């Protein structure tokens, strides 16, 4: 089991030889996710929830791109919360606890980048149900299956199939748009046929 301490983040987030994404790659993801949410909602993003956010590296980018938007990060790392909690608005919590954290209102964009494949199936199911209830827009849920070539901490990766993920998402009431983007199934009916993913 990985220990999400400073050494972990130094290795996978900062060290040039081992970091998973460069700062430019992170910014491209942020810009894409914001654009997808704004396309679906037809208005600027106002509230962003970043679950399993680590040190909250999306927060300064969101703040720069959408200065009026609020950003809330949730992470289980004691180190990340202690170091970045106040500065970047990171609260302690796990993915499966989302429904019990007392979060109010809904979010235009919910993010979980590079973490879902480390989460146990019962916790993942509980968290996805909470995502559905909190989402009024697009969820950028980065999913890698057992068939994907993943860079980074793979020792603890749960190698699920695409069919398993699709079943869990459907059970949680989420519909796929493609490129890691999901909407509540009831919102998907508002979209055109080719805005939704086709299986």
What pLDDT digit, counting tens, does each position of 138-166 carry? 999 999 888 877 665 666 678 899 999 99
Contacts with 126 (C-beta within 8 Å, 6 or more apart), sequence order: 96, 97, 98, 99
Residue 14: inside a domain, yes or no? no
**Number of compact structural domains in the chain:** 1
Domain that holds residue 45: 22-188
Residue 61: inside a domain, yes or no? yes
Contacts with 16 (C-beta within 8 Å, 6 or more apart), sequence order: none
Condensed to tens digits (0 to 9), the pLDDT of residues 45-103 reads 999 999 999 999 999 999 999 999 999 999 999 999 999 999 999 999 999 999 999 99
The pLDDT score that the predictor gives to residue 19 is 63
The pLDDT score that the predictor gives to residue 1 is 46
Residue 30: inside a domain, yes or no? yes
Residue 52: inside a domain, yes or no? yes
Residue 196: inside a domain, yes or no? no
Residue 10: inside a domain, yes or no? no
- CA gap 110, 103 in Å, rounded: 13
The pLDDT score that the predictor gives to residue 148 is 78
Q: How remote is the C-alpha of 62 from its chain's centroid?
A: 14
**Using an 8 Å Cβ cutoff, are 58 and 26 in contact?**
yes
Helices and strands, number each (H, E), in the chain: 7, 7
Let me know the angle formed at the C-alpha of 107 by 127 and 20, rounded to the nearest 5 degrees: 65
Residue 151: inside a domain, yes or no? yes
CATH of the domain at 64: 3.40.50.150
At residue 174, φ and ψ (nearest 5 deg) are -115, 140
Residue 195: inside a domain, yes or no? no
Token pair of 73 as six digits: 């990060």
């Amino acid at each position: 089991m990985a220990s999400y301490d400073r050494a972990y983040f130094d290795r996978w987030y900062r060290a040039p030889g081992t970091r998973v994404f460069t700062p430019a790659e992170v910014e491209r993801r942020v810009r894409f996710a914001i654009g997808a949410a704004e396309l679906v909602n037809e208005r600027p993003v106002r509230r962003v929830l970043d679950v399993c956010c680590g040190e909250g590296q999306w927060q300064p980018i969101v703040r720069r791109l959408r200065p009026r938007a609020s950003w809330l990060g949730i992470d289980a790392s004691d180190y990340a919360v202690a170091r970045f909690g106040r500065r970047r608005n990171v609260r302690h919590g796990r993915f499966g606890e989302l429904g019990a954290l007392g979060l109010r209102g809904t979010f235009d964009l919910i993010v979980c980048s590079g973490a879902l494949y480390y989460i146990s199936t019962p916790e993942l199911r509980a968290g996805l149900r909470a995502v559905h209830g909190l989402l009024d827009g697009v969820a950028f849920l980065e999913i890698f299956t057992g068939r994907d070539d993943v860079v980074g901490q793979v020792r603890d990766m749960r190698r699920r199939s695409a069919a398993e993920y699709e079943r869990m998402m459907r059970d949680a009431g989420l519909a796929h748009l493609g490129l890691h983007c999901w909407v509540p199934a009831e919102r998907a009916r508002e979209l055109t046929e080719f805005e939704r993913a086709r299986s």
